[in-house]
């Protein structure tokens, strides 16, 4: 039996697939415009990747205007024009200007929306406080992303949106080239046909599907060696449905990568220590970059993704452990590892990781190399060369700044197993400025939209941490723009 022959179990003006920030934003805008809306969520609860978000990028927002200038000497809040240029230039002009315009013109509204829902913004700042290129776009809410998603869910429910959890969408219903509904499966395994005049794909991309990451990203050889430090289920459901409808694949492949201690969460202190600009070596036991790249998690993730098996070892000594515990981190990782935060759980974590074989400890560098499985002679030479650079305050190999040159000389020595970790894909289905999914000729597929990390258009090959909060900001803004376009289209 064809999908069009299945009996219709329910009918809505709009069906949204996915219940993260982008899906709820699209549903809220459509419902506020007077349409009937349903959200299909494959997991037992709503939330999406934005639950793990910290801040939201916005330009010329009410919060920025109220503050006047950032709480930093000589800094300023960027204009929409500055934002537009930064996105475009950072992408090497691979960004879609229509999509960039969606971001810079609509993110300020997100701040006003959340303020109206009771969210208070504690500051508007940057993500990495020692990163010189970041724009001051990072709006940090009380309760962070988890709290924002709670209040947004309440707003969506109050607007009359019907939400079906444990109900994965399987495929689109297509008639004469137009989207007319979705085939889904309820919690009991029953097949459902849900009719709709428009479908919004908001399932968060394909970052948790190593096969798709290998197929579409720029690092196919190491995709399967990575691990997921964010427990989401973004496995490419929306992408599969878009391709079914004839969507263009030209802009696929960008992923957001972070450097993490393998099998650890971003809040882990051993992961935070390994993510500092300490000595990094790959499986050849040699350095491969200036570790100051750690100041940008997106760039450090890219750097590690290029290494054999996407694996890196952070080599630190007991003096560094004490420094990080007593004096604090040299760089921050947003709210996960705050700038200059004392990593007071570090020693306990390291001891536990060593006990279970997730990290290694030895009294000599030679023995440490043997514990890890590296060439002892090469690692010893690497550490000696690095310590010489630290003593001189000058790194002739990679020109690492002197303030980050901390020697590895006080036993015992540790090796933390670091890995590149895909947080989320952010180069997905090709869309236009209305968030309509388009084909190879840039012609919109009638009734089909993609929002948030499901859509492409803001990036080249790398997530833009120069504009912190971009992914979360785009999820909200793109969802609303798509929802309003559906309203305008269906109501004429």
pLDDT for the residue numbered 6: 87
Q: How far apart are CA 170 and CA 161, in angstroms?
A: 21
Domain shared by 209 and 272, yes or no = no
Residue keyed to tokens 């794909």: 201
**Per-block average pLDDT, block size 10, for the chain (492 residues)?**
85 98 98 98 92 94 97 94 98 97 98 98 88 91 95 98 97 96 94 98 95 93 85 91 95 91 90 96 98 93 94 97 96 82 96 96 98 98 98 97 97 96 92 97 97 96 94 98 98 86
Please report the DSSP string for 207-241 in residue order. TT-HHHHHHHSS-TTTGGG-B-SS-----SHHHHH
Q: Which domain-ending residue is among 422, 456, 474? A: 422
Domain end residue (candidates: 422, 443, 458): 422
Residues 178 and 269 occupy one common structural domain = no
With beta carbons less than 8 A apart as the criterion, state whether 80 and 105 touch. Answer: yes
What CATH number corresponds to the domain at position 146? Answer: 3.50.50.60
**Same domain flag for 44 and 21:** yes
Residues 6+ away with beta carbon under 8 Å from 96: 251, 430, 431, 432, 433, 456, 457, 458
Give the domain CATH number at 278.
3.90.700.10
Closest Cα to residue 237, out of 170, 166, 163?
170
Q: Give CA–CA dist 343/325, Å, rounded.
A: 5
Q: In sequence order, what E strands does 138-297 have? A: 138-141, 162-164, 169-175, 178-185, 191-201, 255-261, 279-281
Domain that holds residue 92: 3-254+426-491
Domains of the chain: total: 2
Q: Which of 114, 113, 139 is nearest to 126 (CA)?
A: 139
Helix (H) or strand (E) holding 39: strand 37-40
CA distances from 135 to 152, 254, 475 (A): 26, 21, 19
Q: Please tell me the predicted confidence (pLDDT) of residue 94.
A: 95
The whole-number pLDDT of residue 140 equals 96
Residues 57 and 165 in one domain: yes
Residues 211 and 279 in one domain: no
193 and 273 part of one domain: no
Find the DSSP H helices in 33-143.
62-67, 80-90, 97-116
Q: Are residues 75 and 187 in the same domain?
A: yes
How far the first Cα of the chain sits from its last, in Å, is 34
Residues 328 and 384 placed together within one structural domain of the fold: yes
The pLDDT assigned to 336 comes to 79
Query: For residue 374, what are its two tokens?
Result: 């590296």
Q: What is the pTM of this model?
A: 0.95
With the CA atoms of 204, 210, 215 and 220 taken in that order, what torsion angle do they form, in degrees rounded to the nearest 10? Answer: 130
| Residue 1 pLDDT | 58
On whether both 368 and 357 belong to a single domain, the answer is yes
Structure confidence at residue 131 (pLDDT):
75
Please indicate, yes or no, whether residues 408 and 474 belong to a single structural domain of this protein: no
Please indicate, yes or no, whether residues 112 and 12 belong to a single structural domain of this protein. Answer: yes
Contacts of 116 (CB under 8 A, 6+ apart): none
Do 147 and 160 have their domain in common? Answer: yes
Residue 266 is predicted with a pLDDT of: 84
Q: What per-residue confidence (pLDDT) applies to 191?
A: 96
In whole angstroms, what is the distance from residue 472 CA to residue 52 CA? Answer: 10
Last residue of a domain, one of 422, 440, 460: 422
| Residue written as token pair 């560094």 | 320
């Amino acid at each position: 039996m064809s999908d069009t022959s299945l009996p219709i179990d329910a009918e809505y003006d709009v069906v949204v697939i996915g219940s993260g920030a982008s899906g709820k934003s699209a549903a809220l805008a459509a419902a506020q415009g007077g349409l009937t809306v349903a959200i299909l969520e494959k997991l037992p609860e709503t939330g999406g990747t934005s639950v793990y978000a910290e801040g939201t990028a916005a330009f010329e927002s009410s919060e920025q205007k109220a503050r006047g200038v950032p709480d930093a000497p000589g800094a300023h809040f960027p204009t929409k024009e500055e934002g537009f240029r930064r996105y475009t230039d950072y992408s090497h002009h691979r960004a879609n200007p229509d999509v960039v315009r969606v971001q810079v013109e609509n993110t300020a509204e997100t701040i006003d929306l959340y303020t109206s829902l009771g969210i208070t913004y504690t500051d508007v700042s940057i993500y990495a406080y020692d990163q010189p290129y970041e724009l001051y776009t990072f709006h940090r809410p009380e309760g962070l992303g988890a709290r924002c998603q709670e209040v947004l869910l309440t707003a969506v429910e109050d607007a009359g949106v019907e939400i079906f959890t444990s109900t994965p969408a399987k495929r689109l219903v297509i008639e004469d080239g137009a989207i007319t509904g979705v085939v889904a499966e309820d919690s009991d395994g029953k097949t459902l046909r849900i009719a709709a005049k428009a479908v919004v794909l908001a399932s968060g991309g394909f970052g948790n599907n190593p096969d798709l990451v290998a197929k579409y990203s720029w690092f196919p050889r190491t995709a399967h060696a990575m691990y997921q430090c964010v427990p989401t289920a973004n496995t490419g459901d929306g992408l599969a449905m878009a391709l079914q409808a004839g969507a263009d694949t030209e802009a696929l492949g960008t992923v957001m990568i972070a450097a993490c201690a393998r099998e650890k969460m971003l809040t882990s202190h051993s992961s935070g220590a390994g993510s500092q600009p300490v000595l990094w070596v790959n499986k050849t036991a040699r350095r491969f970059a200036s570790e100051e790249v750690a100041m940008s998690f997106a760039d450090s993730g890219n750097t590690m993704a290029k290494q054999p098996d996407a694996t890196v070892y952070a080599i630190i000594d007991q003096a560094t452990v004490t420094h990080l515990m007593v004096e604090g981190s040299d760089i921050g990782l947003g709210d996960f590892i705050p700038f200059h935060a004392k990593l007071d759980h570090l020693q306990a974590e390291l001891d536990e990781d060593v006990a279970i074989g997730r990290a290694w400890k030895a009294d000599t560098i030679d023995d440490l190399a043997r514990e890890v499985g590296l060439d002892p002679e090469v690692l010893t030479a690497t550490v000696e060369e690095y310590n010489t650079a630290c003593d001189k305050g000058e790194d002739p190999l990679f020109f690492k700044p002197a303030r980050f040159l901390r020697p590895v000389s006080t036993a015992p020595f540790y090796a933390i197993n670091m890995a590149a970790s895909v947080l989320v894909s952010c180069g997905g289905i090709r869309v236009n400025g209305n968030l309509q999914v388009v084909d190879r000729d840039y012609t919109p597929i009638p009734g089909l939209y993609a929002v948030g990390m499901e859509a492409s258009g803001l990036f080249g090959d790398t997530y833009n941490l120069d504009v912190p909060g971009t992914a979360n900001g785009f999820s909200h803004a793109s969802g609303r723009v798509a929802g309003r376009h559906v309203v305008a289209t269906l109501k004429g």
